[in-house]
Amino acid sequence: MIHSESLQLRKTTEEDLEFVLAAEQAQHNCAFIGQWSKEEHRAALHDLDMLHLIIIDALGELTGYVIVTGLLDPNFAVCIKRIVIESKGLGYGKLTLRLLSDWIFQNTATHRLWLDVKDHNERARHVYEGAGFIFEGMLRDCVKVEKGFESLLIMSILRTEYLSRKT
């Protein structure tokens, strides 16, 4: 569906869900992303407002997944709900974000592409800022975790900003 020389993003299938759950629950990922049940992921596969994609590397190995929501939003605001990368340090997160942003802005009427990121996830925030996402604000203590609460940073890129980066 979406591809470069080193990565391919294709629709997630039922057969991919065990990988998705394992990646989501992995020690190096779970502190940074929300957790869904298999049933929630399965429902997302069939939801017309969502895009659930598997990330595959050049060797054909599953290396992560993406969830996008808001495809039917009347305000043309699409959310990158989740990007999970298993193979860290290879630039796959940055490339996935670029491929996904390109596809969204070139194939949909999206005006605003947005996401939230936990305030302690400096690595992801750096990637998003490098891709042109602008910090909009913080949702303070909005996520209940085992040790208390965590805050989310809201970031977005508008179509005009995306297009100005492409020229």
Percent of the chain with pLDDT over 70: 100
Instruction: Report pLDDT digits (tens) over 78-109.
Output: 999 999 999 999 999 999 999 999 999 999 99
What confidence category does residue 63 fall into, taking pLDDT thresholds of 50, 70 and 90? very high
Helix, strand, coil abundance in the chain, percent, nearest 5: 35, 35, 30
Instruction: In whole angstroms, give the CA distance from residue 75 to residue 57.
Output: 34
What number is the average pLDDT over the span 10-39? 96
Determine contact, residues 127/93, Cβ cutoff 8 Å.
yes
The pLDDT value recorded for residue 1 is: 84
Q: Which of 32-36, 61-65, 142-146 has the highest mean pLDDT?
A: 61-65
Query: How is residue 72 annotated by DSSP?
Result: T
pLDDT, residue 167, reads: 78
State residue 132's pLDDT score. Answer: 97
pLDDT digits (tens, 9 = 90+) for 152-163: 999 999 999 999
Assigned CATH for 2-166: 3.40.630.30
- Model confidence at 166: pLDDT above 90: no
* CA proximity to 159, closest of 115, 126, 113: 113
Q: What is the pLDDT of residues 103-131, one digit of tens each?
A: 999 999 999 999 999 999 999 999 999 99
* C-alpha span between 77 and 71 (Å, rounded): 8
Mean pLDDT within 67-81: 98
Q: pLDDT digits over 136-155, tens only?
A: 999 999 999 989 999 999 99
SS3 state at 30: helix
If we measure between CA atoms, which residue out of 72, 59, 12 comes closest to residue 40?
A: 12
Q: How far apart are CA 7 and CA 61, in angstroms?
A: 10
Average pLDDT, the chain: 96
Query: What is the arithmetic mean of pLDDT over 36-62?
Result: 98
Categorise residue 60: left if φ over 0, alpha if ψ from -120 to 50, beta otherwise.
left
CA gap 104, 97 in Å, rounded: 10
